[in-house]
Amino acid sequence: METGYDDRDGKIWLDGQLVEWRDAKVHVLTHALHYASSVFEGERCYSGKIFLDRKHTERLHFSANCLDFEIPYDVDTLMAAKQEVLKANGLTDAYVRAFAWRGAGPDMGVASARNPVRTAIAAWHWGNYYGDAKTKGAKLDIAKWKRPSPETIPHQAKAAGLYMIATMSKHAAEAKGCSDALMFDYRGYVAECTGANLFFVKDGEVHTPLPDCFLNGLTRQTVVKMLKEKGITVHERHIMPEELEGFEQCWLTGTAAEVTPVGQIGDYQFEVGALTLDIAKSYEDLVRA
């Protein structure tokens, strides 16, 4: 049986100090456990260097502000803490999870302004997020849940509560033998996957959904810039579901996903083509530069 994430050797940075992995605990009446008042970042460290470290850390603070709380550690302190965690665990290539949440305190209702804000950083070895799909192409389901209107959620925040429909969608996809699920938005446009952004290729040009109601991922932004530097036309726009039939290639981007080719979405097939492979290699070269 695979070891659970609560039962491992190592160190986790918790509220300003390194603690034993198994001792990094919170009370069952922690506010975030009941009301999802939590934000997080997923980052990858390559050869001892965390890719886009400062941007990830700045976004963590931004996400917390979107949820109406302040993280009690500044950006530089958190960046230094990540290095402490990596060193303490003997890691040079790793996934790094930084997160902050409203803890247990005098408030135990929807309002929780008097509760302390907790902060933690953990790191562990994590290979390809989609396994062998990284080379063969992922198979995607089409989710029944839709990304909601930006009038209903702080969509630009990387907040825990926004992922519940993603969790349900991915569970449903995996039950069908798929790696992930494509999600539409509240208007019916193609949006994203449960934890990754989408790119499509047609006639040598790239099309990617406009992130006006879902997270504009840092990997997404990096890949858009790379494509433009290569002289490839990139259309950031609303994409209708019926357009899927006309696209030739598709890939996913995300810190965990990196650049992962897609071979199938529902009944639609895509080739793992030259542009997809080129951008995947270019991204790999960039993060390890």
β-pairing, 38-46 vs 49-50, is antiparallel
Gap between the Cα atoms of 232 and 80, Å rounded: 37
**What are 99's two structure tokens?**
């997160």
The kind and range of the H/E element at 13 are strand 11-14
Enumerate the active-site residues: 158
DSSP string, 64-130: HHHTT---SS-HHHHHHHHHHHHHHTT-SSEEEEEEEEE-SSS--SS--TTSPEEEEEEEE----TT
- In the chain, DSSP assigns E strands to 11-14, 17-20, 38-46, 49-50, 94-102, 117-124, 138-142, 180-184, 190-193, 197-202, 205-209, 234-237, 249-254, 258-265, 268-269
> Residue with structure tokens 């290539």?
93
